[in-house]
Structure 1
Amino acid sequence: MKQHTAIGGAGLGLIISLVLCLLCGLMSNLAQTDAGHVTKETLSIESPSGHRLSMDMLQPKSATPSHPAPAIVFAHGGNTNKEKSDDFQIEWARRGFVVVSFDLYGHGESEVLNNQEWLVNGRGLYDTVEYLTTIPFVDTNRIAVSGHSRGGNTVHESILIDNKRTKPLIKAVLYVSRDPVYKDNETAAFGYVPGKTNVVEAAKKNDNGKYFNYYKGRTVGVLAGKYDDYSFKEKDSKTGRIKPNPQYLKSNNARSFLNFGKTPTPQTPNGISGRWYTRQISGRKASHVIYMENGTHGTVLFLSQPCTDAVQFMVRAFNIRTDLADTDHIYPVKMIGGLLGLIGLFLFMVYGTLCMVRLNPFQEAGSDTPALMRQADTKHGGSAWLRGCLVASTVFSVASSLALFGFRVDKHIGTYFRQGMPLFYGIWGCLNAVFMIFLTLLWYRMFANKNGATPQSFDITIKGRRLRQTITLSLTVSLMAILLIFACKYFFNSDYRFWYWAARPFTADKIPEMLKLFPFFLLAYGAMSVFTNCLNYNTSFGKSNWGNITLLACFNLLPALLIALAGYGYFFTTGVNGLFGNNTQIADWMLTPLVPLAVMPLVSRAIYRHTRNPYLGGIITAVIVTVMTCINSQISFPA
């Protein structure tokens, strides 16, 4: 009777997970198409520079060959992909713009190039602009570009190319979390590709540079986060210290930009957020504007006010007539749908496993009896040992992450490992796992073994047929979860994503990178599952199952959370992102692993409770984390 109940509960959970995945697709499609008023198409083209370029195009029904519409090309930031900023894209398309977002070279489904060649043609941005001039429903006299973070760099480089044209193509520019170009010497290395770009003349400029108007007669806007981790920083000439980010509008850089490249003096007034500064340049009315946003480098992409300002900028820049208010947003529907989809995917990992483990080919991977919480302190000192191991693991994890940043593992691009960000997370998890295993062996030798404990009593031992079925079942469930991701793209042209976290389809060139990094994540999440379930499923960490796993999950994410809180806490207090010296990305990079570190212990525990097999959850979570990490990161290799 208990077995039938377990099967019934798993079946219901599986149905709920699939319903959530379906809701994600429906809600995402509703928002992306504005309930049928916009068409979304994913394209893969050979770009004007001769490389494969992947892009999403949102075409309003009002954009036709007889009534061509203005167009916006959006460039995403580093180590992400074209869908990350789709709130801006959705809202622009609803107001009549043709919107194209593309994967930078080496990202998403675009071609992987070496670490110099990928800079060609604005890393794909200017290739996309040139491609738009061939589209009959695009007004080629009204093309804007926008970019977030590294995407802002692609804007820099594309303007350099566009300025050389007799008739420039780009009429308006919106930077998101990226400084505009202030001084002439900044252009020296833009888009530099050996043998293709002549930068000699630019390199001869004064080393200190002179303020100038890089944008000529274009309309240019900036969405500047008050607590941007990377951008909007300026040294005080008197003290040599970085000025606080919230004072950006008082900086020389901002005042020069708002005055079209004029060198600021003490009499130059400070900038005003949201105010449009205009001037006639070469017979054309040009405008510059800075919007100060209450956000960080990454969160500016997801908050309502920056989206409102992005809408206002483009509507005003091209004098678009629309019945929609700037604050009229539908993109939260997609954000909620994406969150439901991620929850559905995680639930599928659990309930798909619990359903399939009851099938004949996989039965030996499970257990006829569920795991029971062990009583703590049946032997004096047991709780102290376990809690001490958790504290030691936390301290080591914080120290190891900072050490890896110091060794610049996150920046590594080699001939074998070609993704710096996943390599950093993989090695970090691996180091923590090795330290955890060391502590466990120490605990077992110094305490558990002396008190009669055996590996069998902790469900650690596994071999033979059970091991083979465990591996087969884990890979089967993982493959089915990946198929769900591809199904969402196929049927709804969407994916499962919320803020920093996304599960999306991938091309074949990602698979070798996943296979290289999978052993790191397998050791990390396999050890995490054993540590969480076999060793710590006891009343030392809560007398109920939920209390126990909640506390353990909190400890699992604690190192990343402590670093993020410390970095941002210092930043929010002082206005300067300087807690970790010149490495301003550390706090931001510690936000990305928070969800997998918090969620995967819950997934592995739910599987372990019903199967008494810690390796099922460990392998499945390792596969999915590897996929989610690698598909959202750039691939490159040395020239």
Structure 2
Amino acid sequence: MNTAQLFDPDRRSKAPLVFVVCLAVLMGATLLASLTQKSFGKVLVSNVSYLNYNGIRIRAKLLKPLSAVQTDPAPGVVYIHGYQNNRETGDAYCIELARRGIVVLEIDAVGRGNSGIPGPLDDPDFDPTYGGQTSLEYLRSLPFVDTDRIGLMGHSLGAELVYNIALKDPAIKALVISGFAYRDDASTQIPKNMLMIFGKYDEFRKRMTATQDFEKEWMATERTRQVFPAANPELGRIYGNFENDTARRVYMPRITHLKTAHSGAAIAQALEWMKAALKPSQPDWIPADQQIWPIKEWSTLIAMVSGLACLLPLGLMLLRTSIFQSLRHPVSGTYACTGRPYIRSVILNGVLMALYFPIIFILFGVHVYLIHIDKAFPLMMTNGIVWWFLWTNIIGFIFFRRWFKKQHLAAGLTLSELGLSYQEDRFAMNAGQIVKTVGLAAILFFFAYIVEHTLESIFLVDYRFIFPFASDLTAYRVKLWFTYFPLLLVGFLLMGIFLHGQLRRPQQSTWWLTFITGSAQNILVIVTPLLVLLVFQYVPLFAIGTIPLVGPGGVFIAFTHNLFHIIGVLIIILPISTWFYQITGKIYLGAVLNAALVTWMFVSSQVIAPIPI
């Protein structure tokens, strides 16, 4: 089947059926995720919103076990996620706590998710707990929470925030910090009942613990001697006791920083700790190794993939209408990139993408020494990624121009043949076609957003897997969408020129095989260099305990973590541009749609706050 047959009015289209199936899978996965976080009817989950002491709004998710009532209040826990996340990142811990009879308040820290935006660090009203202290007071105000049994939990920066709160509040009965190390301001008495979970291969190990080998060195440090009431404390053992609130323990799983937020073993240890310290109702208790949070995590991934997969048959159906049918064209010409030219182009792309850290370093140099770009572009972590994405593609476009001139002179290759021009003899745009292209992309994007927004409003789950990918937007983040969209649009247009133009592969025996192999090859070309960067960082970490590129204050480690998110985004969106290139013969529809989708992902999920370096 070719593109013309795909739109043949005499052929029965399967697009409506595929669209319905994708929608059904999306709704089913969303429902399963919602039921999981409700422990299949044993926990009430609700959105709550309240004002911080400085007037900034905080959004949180409240997980209330049915057994928690005013006449029999339950213990409560506030959970705060890490620096680059939102409240749902804590679901693994929070779902398991709530289904064991503990009320949980998991917050969007200020500057994250749907909470408000923090002011500058030197603002007199700046809240160093990012809403954590106010959230603790909110939890205490709930009539079904026992204020004598309150605990705090957090990961990474969130762990630091709850640690700081617990230091100053002797009423906190239990503290679990993961991906963060207690400091020399802790003692054998304060914070009360403290469990530290820290991975052997935590990338921030040297910054947080000043150790080269955490397993061998940490328990012998001066900090640990101040905290543990024993001469030679050991990893994994409990010291002190829960009865007088002096229990202490360091648990070291053999995992990385990110993994501590989604480790079944670490979660089990945290559950047992809170059980011993807060004493929830025994009838509600479930063995700590019986965990259901992975069901939600996989369900939201399936929901996200299904939701975006809906755009493929929906686009096909819209292109069959009279309004948009003029956009559909087969891929023109016979040009295909094979052999040595293909390998050379792939290698060049890999070299350019490997400039990830140097390009980001330059941006932060500009920000620190020349001009503070966060005034106009407040998503500083996103700024680094967008800056790299833009410059990689701009430099690649310079090479493309040289390559095209040679191909045009030698073989008569045209820009029309590559899907870039609407005229054969020269580069030319068609205003009517471009307007329709933008209109169709807008319809598809709004469909994707409205579906996610509606389901999130009803079921309180968003698109995520380990990392937050896409969620509903506040008014402020809608403005950010318009700020970042033009930059990402340029990047995706230039990427489309490279992937679907210069690097276009030969047509396969069937249309579907061309799409599948084209999508797979495009993913490999773009993602492989990023995987190489991860190998470069993590092989030495696992082998000798050292991560090669750390950067000032560990900023390169944070951007190494971002690579996992970027790879996930690329795997999801590259088939979309491949699909629409094949059915329109042009790069533009896929580029505009992908730019809109990725902008949504970035502005809805990324942090607006000072970088802790």
TM-score after normalising by structure 1: 0.86
- Correspondence 1:259 to 2:228: yes
Which amino acid in 1 is paired with 2:225?
Answer: S
Residue 346 of structure 1 aligns to a residue whose secondary structure is helix
1:93-123 Cα offsets, whole Å, 9 max, x none, are 0000000011111111111121325751621
Residue 120 of structure 1 aligns to a residue whose secondary structure is coil
1:4-23 Cα offsets, whole Å, 9 max, x none, are 48772322221222122102
Which residue of the partner structure matches residue 360 of structure 2? Answer: 404
Counterparts in 2 of 1:82 and 1:436: CA distance versus 1, 3 Å: same
Which residue of the partner structure matches residue 590 of structure 1? Answer: 563
- Correspondence 1:365 to 2:327: yes
Q: Pick from 271, 286, 296: which aligns with 2:234?
A: 271
Contact 1:541 1:552 in 2 (8 A): no
Contact 2:335 2:417 in 1 (8 A): no
Separation (CA, whole Å) in 1 of partners of 2:99 and 2:558: 34
Residue 374 of structure 2 aligns to a residue whose secondary structure is coil
Which residue of the partner structure matches residue 538 of structure 1? Answer: 505
Residue 84 of structure 1 aligns to a residue whose secondary structure is helix
Which residue of the partner structure matches residue 122 of structure 1? Answer: 129
Shift of 1:221: 0.6
1:432-465 Cα offsets, whole Å, 9 max, x none, are 1111211211111122442111111222114121
Which amino acid in 1 is paired with 2:91?
Answer: D
Contact 2:272 2:288 in 1 (8 A): yes
Shift of 1:376: 4.1
Shift of 1:375: 5.9
Contact 2:581 2:587 in 1 (8 A): yes
Counterparts in 2 of 1:15 and 1:253: CA distance versus 1, 3 Å: farther
Shift of 1:501: 4.2
Which residue of the partner structure matches residue 218 of structure 1? Answer: 192
Separation (CA, whole Å) in 2 of partners of 1:532 and 1:139: 59
Separation (CA, whole Å) in 2 of partners of 1:374 and 1:310: 61
Counterparts in 2 of 1:387 and 1:374: CA distance versus 1, 3 Å: farther
How do 1:440-589 and structure 2 match up within 5 A? 440-462=400-422, 463-539=430-506, 545=514, 546-580=516-550, 583=554, 584-589=557-562
Separation (CA, whole Å) in 2 of partners of 1:2 and 1:415: 48
Contact 2:150 2:171 in 1 (8 A): yes
Separation (CA, whole Å) in 2 of partners of 1:133 and 1:569: 45
Contact 2:379 2:607 in 1 (8 A): yes
Which residue of the partner structure matches residue 137 of structure 1? Answer: 144
Separation (CA, whole Å) in 1 of partners of 2:220 and 2:311: 51
Which amino acid in 1 is paired with 2:59?
Answer: S
Separation (CA, whole Å) in 2 of partners of 1:444 and 1:366: 25
Count the aligned residue pairs: 585
Q: Pick from 283, 288, 292: which aligns with 2:252?
A: 292
Q: Pick from 292, 296, 301: which aligns with 1:339?
A: 301
Residue 170 of structure 1 aligns to a residue whose secondary structure is coil
Which residue of the partner structure matches residue 607 of structure 1? Answer: 580
- Correspondence 1:156 to 2:168: no
Which residue of the partner structure matches residue 169 of structure 1? Answer: 171
Separation (CA, whole Å) in 1 of partners of 2:470 and 2:528: 23
Counterparts in 2 of 1:623 and 1:217: CA distance versus 1, 3 Å: closer
Contact 2:26 2:306 in 1 (8 A): yes
Separation (CA, whole Å) in 1 of partners of 2:209 and 2:68: 46
Contact 1:357 1:365 in 2 (8 A): yes
Q: Identity, % of aligned pairs?
A: 22
Shift of 1:324: 1.1
Separation (CA, whole Å) in 1 of partners of 2:267 and 2:19: 36
Counterparts in 2 of 1:581 and 1:517: CA distance versus 1, 3 Å: closer
- Correspondence 1:314 to 2:268: no
Separation (CA, whole Å) in 2 of partners of 1:9 and 1:533: 26
Q: Which stretch shifts more, 63-72 or 389-398?
A: 389-398
Counterparts in 2 of 1:315 and 1:449: CA distance versus 1, 3 Å: farther
Which amino acid in 2 is paired with 1:244?
Answer: D
Contact 1:179 1:232 in 2 (8 A): no
Residue 79 of structure 2 aligns to a residue whose secondary structure is strand
Which amino acid in 2 is paired with 1:169?
Answer: A
Q: Pick from 79, 82, 97: which aligns with 2:84?
A: 79
Counterparts in 2 of 1:453 and 1:332: CA distance versus 1, 3 Å: same
Which amino acid in 1 is paired with 2:519?
Answer: I
Q: Pick from 29, 34, 51: which aligns with 2:34?
A: 29
CA RMSD of aligned residues (A): 2.7
Which amino acid in 2 is paired with 1:391?
Answer: I
Which residue of the partner structure matches residue 180 of structure 1? Answer: 182
Which amino acid in 2 is paired with 1:256?
Answer: R
Residue 131 of structure 1 aligns to a residue whose secondary structure is helix
Counterparts in 2 of 1:47 and 1:581: CA distance versus 1, 3 Å: closer
Which stretches in structure 1 are left out of the alignment for 5+ residues?
163-167, 185-211, 237-241, 263-267
Which stretches in structure 2 are left out of the alignment for 5+ residues?
423-429
Residue 40 of structure 2 aligns to a residue whose secondary structure is coil
Q: Pick from 593, 597, 605: which aligns with 1:624?
A: 597
Separation (CA, whole Å) in 2 of partners of 1:606 and 1:29: 31
- Correspondence 1:247 to 2:216: yes
Contact 2:581 2:590 in 1 (8 A): yes
Which residue of the partner structure matches residue 59 of structure 1? Answer: 64
Shift of 1:589: 2.6
1:27-84 Cα offsets, whole Å, 9 max, x none, are 1111111111110010111234432111100000000000111000000111211111
Which amino acid in 1 is paired with 2:384?
Answer: F
1:488-515 Cα offsets, whole Å, 9 max, x none, are 2122111121112421112111122221
Residue 585 of structure 1 aligns to a residue whose secondary structure is helix
Shift of 1:607: 1.8
Shift of 1:149: 0.8
Separation (CA, whole Å) in 1 of partners of 2:342 and 2:545: 40
Contact 1:413 1:636 in 2 (8 A): no
Q: Which stretch shifts more, 543-552 or 563-572?
A: 543-552
Separation (CA, whole Å) in 1 of partners of 2:44 and 2:521: 46
Counterparts in 2 of 1:111 and 1:151: CA distance versus 1, 3 Å: same
TM-score after normalising by structure 2: 0.89
Contact 1:522 1:618 in 2 (8 A): yes
Contact 1:230 1:585 in 2 (8 A): no
